[in-house]
A and B are shown apart, each in its own frame.
Chain A
Amino acid sequence: MTFAERMLKIDRRIIFLVIGLCTLLPLLYPVGLPIKISPEVRGVYDHIESLPEGAVFLLSLDFDPASKPELQPQAISLLRHAFKKNLRVVALTLWVSGTGLADQIITQVAREMGKESGKDYVFLGWSPGGNAVIINMGQNLYGAFPTDYNGKPTKGLSVLQGVANLRDVNYAVSLGAGNPGVEAWYVFGKDKYKFELGGGCTGVMAPGLYPLLRSGQINGLIGGLRGAAEYETLIDQKGRAIAGMDAQSATHLAIVVLVILCNIFYFSLRKQGKQRGYSGA
């Protein structure tokens, strides 16, 4: 058996080990590779920056714990930015399995920034219906969410003063890991009720959302852990996303090297096969 043949039949667990080490070592010993800000992430940041104090910022945390590593850093960064700008934050989730996680994120950031529930922010929780919830909120926010996550009636909350429906929202961002998510917020929300919309999503979903970005249907897009790291850089608050970027770069490099090596071994094996074929003939 030649070297190329042995390499192509290598135990896949060795590759798992290589990828594991490439992830673990940079997390333990970070290098601090530079992070360049992309225009799509800056789009979300700039729009929040342009909002006046007291403007209504709606954050829909449409994900569950399975997407936590990518979308939790995005949610934390956006909430920190919004609270720093003294925006009125209205948060909700369209994913029932993400309710507890969403509450945990909002409560943690609000406590850290010294914000009060009902006055500076409200977490509406989850309501059944997915896309229908967005339409319902567009008609009457209090009909879709009569109470907040803690059971307090939403009518009369000072954070929602002057907010009757989605038309009164200044900026909305959906952090989506699937459906309902960014697309649903555009189709059933922005397109009908005319508010500005930004998006955040997992890396898997990002290529599918770029057409919406280019056509101006969303004004910014935070894609995956990389997008979260860019946002953390913009608000100058290092978090989990920036910490993970070295590991991300190392694993990508390892995968590229593995793909190149596999191709070299494959083509050398094919060449050997051809040569044998000629000598045999």
Chain B
Amino acid sequence: MPFETIIGAWVAVGLTLFIFTFLYNDNPLFKLAENLYVGVSVGYTIVKTYDTVLVQLIWKPIVENGEWALLVPVAIGLLMLTRYVPKAAWLSRYAFAFIVGVGSGLAIPRTISSFILKQIEDTVRPLMTLIPGEGVSFTWNLLNPTSSLNTIIILVGVCSVLFYFFFSVEHTGPGKVVARTGILFLMIAFGAAFGYTVMARMSLLIGRLTDLIEFSDPSYGRPSLWLLGVTIILLIVMSRLSGSKQHKEE
């Protein structure tokens, strides 16, 4: 096995275990791993951005291919840096105006089309289907998202939730029933979202534990077992040290 893979396994196991120590209590091992994670992430992003944007997309096309038109976006981008010079900070407004203007122009029509119009179109479906010669048909299948029953459930859900957030009318009498129905739909939605969140977090735990099991293999030098022992010893030592410190202070 390549040496760098083994080193990578030891580093990955060590940092995973250090992060897991937070479940016991907040400690310097966790802080070390947390700060390393932030530092490495930011460092990686800076290096990739420098290489891709400055070198590949700006420097090389201008110098090697003579694409001088690229100097226009570069100039607009540089205007943003004027925010660090108080006297010239007003220049950055042009860059921000350009970004906000282009961004809004691109996003607003597309978002309205995709998330509002398409969703309204999907909500306002016929509740029953008229088949020529056979009459009106109503499908009861709960598992089919397009069945008549599900269409009614969605219609009731959308209307009752919208009514719940309509505060111009007091929620009393029949209005209270509709608002309560809206709350019921909201609770089901929150429950589903929370269930998926639990599943996602457990998946992350499974991912780390799978790696720890894989790295307990002798071909890696069993880093999971060795570093688990080291981490436990370090936790005990730190706990003793903080205990004696508290004792002295008292």
Q: A27-B213, A125-B52, A135-B106 are in contact. Are A223 and B196 (CB under 8 A)?
A: yes
Bound-state CA distance A20–B203 (Å) is 12
User: Which candidate, B28-36, B116-124, B159-167, B235-243, is the interface stretch facing chain A?
Assistant: B116-124
Report whether A187 and B114 are in contact in the complex, using a CB–CB cutoff of 8 Å: yes
- By size class, the interface of chain A is 35 or more
Is B101 an interface position by the 8 A CB rule?
no
Is A147 an interface position by the 8 A CB rule?
yes
CB-CB nearest in chain B for A151: B56
Bound-state CA distance A202–B201 (Å) is 10
Is B63 an interface position by the 8 A CB rule?
no
Report whether B110 and A188 are in contact in the complex, using a CB–CB cutoff of 8 Å: yes
Nearest Cβ in chain B — how far from A249, in angstroms?
10
Nearest Cβ in chain A — how far from B19, in angstroms?
12
Number of B interface residues, CB 8 Å?
Answer: 43
Report whether B52 and A192 are in contact in the complex, using a CB–CB cutoff of 8 Å: no
| Contacts of A56-90 to chain B: CB distance below 8 A | 68-70
Bound-state CA distance A188–B105 (Å) is 12
Point out the residues of chain B lying under 8 angstroms from A125, CB to CB: 52
User: Which candidate, B43-51, B128-136, B175-183, is the interface stretch facing chain A?
Assistant: B43-51
Q: A188-B106, A247-B206 are in contact. Are A128 and B53 (CB under 8 A)?
A: yes
CB-CB nearest in chain A for B200: A203
Is A5 an interface position by the 8 A CB rule?
no
CB < 8 Å: which of A13, A99, A146, A248 contacts B24? A13
Report whether B210 and A16 are in contact in the complex, using a CB–CB cutoff of 8 Å: no
Q: A126-B52, A203-B199, A226-B199 are in contact. Are A27 and B206 (CB under 8 A)?
A: yes
| Contacts of A143-194 to chain B: CB distance below 8 A | 146-147, 151, 183, 186-188, 191-192
Is A272 an interface position by the 8 A CB rule?
no
Is B197 an interface position by the 8 A CB rule?
yes
Main secondary structure of the interface of A (DSSP, over half): helix
Nearest Cβ in chain A — how far from B115, in angstroms?
8
Point out the residues of chain A lying under 8 angstroms from B52, CB to CB: 96, 125-128
Report whether A224 and B210 are in contact in the complex, using a CB–CB cutoff of 8 Å: no
Bound-state CA distance A114–B208 (Å) is 29
Nearest Cβ in chain B — how far from A15, in angstroms?
10
Nearest Cβ in chain A — how far from B59, in angstroms?
13
| Contacts of B4-61 to chain A: CB distance below 8 A | 23-24, 41, 44-45, 48-49, 52-53, 56-57, 61
Q: A128-B53, A186-B114, A244-B210 are in contact. Are A211 and B122 (CB under 8 A)?
A: yes
Report whether B210 and A211 are in contact in the complex, using a CB–CB cutoff of 8 Å: no
Give a binary string over A111-154; 1 marks a CB under 8 Å from any B CB, 0 the rest: 00000000000000111100110010000000000110001000
Is B209 an interface position by the 8 A CB rule?
yes
Is A1 an interface position by the 8 A CB rule?
no
Is B174 an interface position by the 8 A CB rule?
no
Report whether B111 and A187 are in contact in the complex, using a CB–CB cutoff of 8 Å: yes
Bound-state CA distance A209–B121 (Å) is 16
Point out the residues of chain A lying under 8 angstroms from B209, CB to CB: 23-24, 27, 247
Report whether A204 and B202 are in contact in the complex, using a CB–CB cutoff of 8 Å: no
Bound-state CA distance A188–B108 (Å) is 11
Q: A68-B207, A188-B110 are in contact. Are A204 and B196 (CB under 8 A)?
A: yes
Report whether B110 and A191 are in contact in the complex, using a CB–CB cutoff of 8 Å: yes
Report whether A97 and B213 are in contact in the complex, using a CB–CB cutoff of 8 Å: no
Report whether B49 and A248 are in contact in the complex, using a CB–CB cutoff of 8 Å: no
Is B192 an interface position by the 8 A CB rule?
yes
Is B184 an interface position by the 8 A CB rule?
no
Report whether A147 and B56 are in contact in the complex, using a CB–CB cutoff of 8 Å: yes
Is A243 an interface position by the 8 A CB rule?
yes
CB-CB nearest in chain B for A247: B206
Report whether A224 and B122 are in contact in the complex, using a CB–CB cutoff of 8 Å: no
Report whether A69 and B48 are in contact in the complex, using a CB–CB cutoff of 8 Å: no
| Contacts of A96-111 to chain B: CB distance below 8 A | 96-97, 99-100
CB-CB nearest in chain B for A249: B202
Report whether B114 and A97 are in contact in the complex, using a CB–CB cutoff of 8 Å: no
Give a binary string over B183-199; 1 marks a CB under 8 Å from any A CB, 0 the rest: 00000010011001111
Point out the residues of chain A lying under 8 angstroms from B122, CB to CB: 211, 214-216
CB-CB nearest in chain A for B52: A126
Give 10 A-B pairs besides A27-B209, A131-B106 with Cβ atoms closer than 8 angstroms: A27-B210, A69-B208, A126-B52, A127-B57, A188-B106, A203-B196, A208-B193, A215-B121, A224-B196, A252-B202
- Give 5 closest A-B pairs by Cβ, nearest first: A69-B207, A203-B200, A215-B122, A225-B203, A244-B206
Q: B: which residues have CB within 8 A of A?
A: 23-24, 41, 44-45, 48-49, 52-53, 56-57, 61, 106-107, 110-111, 113-115, 118-119, 121-122, 145-146, 189, 192-193, 196-200, 202-210, 213
10 contacts across the A-B interface (CB closer than 8 A): A16-B23, A70-B200, A128-B52, A128-B57, A188-B110, A191-B113, A203-B203, A214-B122, A244-B210, A247-B209
